Amino acid sequence: MNLADSPFLRACRRRPVPHTPVWYMRQAGRSLPEYLKVREGVPMLTACATPDLIVEITMQPVRRYGVDAAIFFSDIVVPLKALGIDLDIKPGVGPVVAEPIRDARGLDALRPLEPDDVSYVTEAIRALTGELGGTPLIGFAGAPFTLGSYLIEGGPSKNHDRTKAMMYGAPELWHRLMARLADIVARHLRIQIDAGASAVQLFDSWVGAVAPADYREFILPHTRRIFESVADVPRIHFGVGTGELLGVLGEAGADVVGVDWRVPLDEHAEQLAG
């Protein structure tokens, strides 16, 4: 089958499909015994930087379930780690940053991302596209707000207090941080596309913590710029707990907006207007 005619890519472009395409938004590994076996004793960020492991874990749900698209095995903090940010993913906790960014001086750590910084990503995607054949590969990255929250808070946060304190109290610094992260994210997605990814997904895991007006002022311009930079492939946008944000999320420029379980699909469809 021609890759462009795959049900997943046709659906992304709102073209007729023979069946509703199914894929995993993230790697399905946590439920698969074969995943647990290959990950045993291997830290998450080590797995994300090992091409053979990336290929194997990405392929596991495709082999087992015959899904309509594969999702690249990685983590949203991979490009930050590649830039030399001192962070680790602690089991049961999540990403933890040793030196949080809370002032203008901290921005110096966020230099531009280069392909050589993530050469393992390019190597793994090239191997995957050969193995997947007519099954599309979805690349992905974390969005600036979510990455910024980890960097500012120093780790996962329930209320994102320090993040909002910067957003409201130091808006100039906030926009500089978001712009810097948007450049890194856009570059990371472009590297994946150039290596062979057929579509990309932007995860804004924590953006449901902001109000629609705040999203429009403090986040939307940066997200929109990312999507404009990768307009040559289908783009998916997803956030958790974003029922109230769907209308403005739809303005960011993605071809597909992911939704979670909190609002019925027919209501989502009305809010997104196509």
Q: Which residues contact 134 (CB under 8 A, 6 or more apart)?
A: 1, 2, 3, 6
Surface-to-core class of residue 137, CB atoms within 10 Å of its CB (0-12 exposed, 13-18 middle, 19+ buried): buried
Give the catalytic positions in this structure.
Answer: 26, 30, 39, 75, 150
CB-CB contact of 20 with 10 (8 Å): no
Q: Which residues contact 120 (CB under 8 A, 6 or more apart)?
A: 49, 50, 51, 54
Q: Give me the residue label for tokens 């001192």.
A: 86
Q: CA dist 214 to 144, 152, 221, Å?
A: 14, 18, 11
Longest dimension (CA), the chain: 53
